[in-house]
Amino acid sequence: MKAIAESELIINERGAIYHLDLRPEELATTVFTVGDPDRVVTVSQHFDHIEFRASHREFVSHTGTIGKKRVTVVSTGIGTDNIDIVLNELDALVNIDFGSRTIKPSLTPLTIIRMGTSGSLQENIPVDSFVASTHGLGIDNLLNFYRHEENEEDNAILHAFRTQTQLHHRLANPTISGASAALLRHFTDGFHSGITVTAPGFYGPQGRVLRLGLSQPELIDRLTTFQYGPHRITNFEMETSGIYGLGKMLGHQCLSLSAIVANRIHQTFSKDGNALVQSLIKQTLEIVEGI
């Protein structure tokens, strides 16, 4: 098997992958991702033991245990450009032999759970609630740089999405990927569920107007009213479609959980977003420890 070139798989002087600064033995197979580097400590303070810490740029990682389960929490920063780095490097740590720079013959699947914040696009999903994403629908274009295929149902959802939203092709060629059903079934009580749209930015791409006008000012209303069979769009943020899409292609089990800090219909914002995120983290860790 041909070795992966040094320019493609960058390993630093301590044998760690470049951006995450992690060596294979420093990563657990259950991984929590958070956007904010400061939130890593918020997660790992609930660990029973922390065995390793790493920090490089916006990527902070702690590996330890909750009960008998070994886990890692890593910060991704904001956006699917960062998700592209994190998902590929997490996969490389378990599925590429760093000595020979070759792909291992057998796949090691990771369990990857995002715990983040998001804005609701439905009246009945208020601030201070939680959403478990059944799908990540990307209008960010990351997955279009990879060979990927949607199944028949996903293609039908995408066709309905393009038709109902009239999203201009010069803005995005939407993609969609589903959550891990095995993980999603553990996050039903106390969680809303539906399609999460992943946008390539926080202001214009999510319909916010400060000093610049929008090319498609009606897009947010069309996201809110979208429906295909039982499927509707519950919320949007900036990472889920990348996690679901890359995770699916690489053979990992992924789930995105969101604390709803804003409701774009009512134009309301959480009074204590930090407490809400803390609650999501605590509840998620308790569930995962028991899986």
Kindly state whether residue 2 falls inside one of the protein's structural domains. Answer: no
Kindly state whether residue 37 falls inside one of the protein's structural domains. Answer: yes
Q: Contact, 85 vs 19, CB < 8 A?
A: yes
Percent of the chain as helix, strand, coil, to the nearest 5? 30, 30, 40
Confidence grade of residue 102 (pLDDT, cut at 50, 70, 90): very high
Q: How many domains does the chain have?
A: 1
20: left (phi over 0), alpha (psi -120 to 50) or beta: alpha
Q: How far is CA 51 from CA 42, 44, 117, in A?
A: 16, 11, 27
Q: Look at the alpha carbons of 151, 175, 254, 284 in this order and tell me if their dihedral is positive or negative.
A: negative
Q: Which positions ≥6 away from 172 have C-beta within 8 Å?
A: 138, 139, 140, 141, 200
Kindly state whether residue 18 falls inside one of the protein's structural domains. Answer: no
User: What pLDDT, on the 0 to 100 scale, is given for residue 162?
Assistant: 95
pLDDT, tens digit, for every residue of 60-90? Answer: 999 999 999 999 999 999 999 999 999 999 9
pLDDT, tens digit, for every residue of 269-290? Answer: 999 999 999 999 999 999 999 9
Kindly state whether residue 213 falls inside one of the protein's structural domains. Answer: yes
Quote the CA–CA distance of 127 and 269 in Å, as a whole number: 6
Q: Sort 208 into a burial class: Cβ within 10 Å, 0-12 / 13-18 / 19+.
A: middle
Kindly state whether residue 14 falls inside one of the protein's structural domains. Answer: no
- Residue-number span of the structural domain to which 270 is assigned: 24-290
Confidence grade of residue 26 (pLDDT, cut at 50, 70, 90): very high
Least confident of 19-33, 161-175, 193-207, 245-259: 161-175
pLDDT, tens digit, for every residue of 143-200? Answer: 999 998 889 999 999 999 999 999 888 889 999 999 999 999 999 999 999 999 999 9
Specify the pTM: 0.97
Kindly state whether residue 5 falls inside one of the protein's structural domains. Answer: no
* Spatial CA neighbour of 291 closest among 190, 186, 179, 178: 186
Q: Look at the alpha carbons of 207, 213, 215, 217 in this order and tell me if their dihedral is positive or negative.
A: positive
Kindly state whether residue 43 falls inside one of the protein's structural domains. Answer: yes
Residue 35 is part of a domain; what is its CATH number? 3.40.50.1580
Kindly state whether residue 276 falls inside one of the protein's structural domains. Answer: yes
Mean model confidence pLDDT for the chain: 96
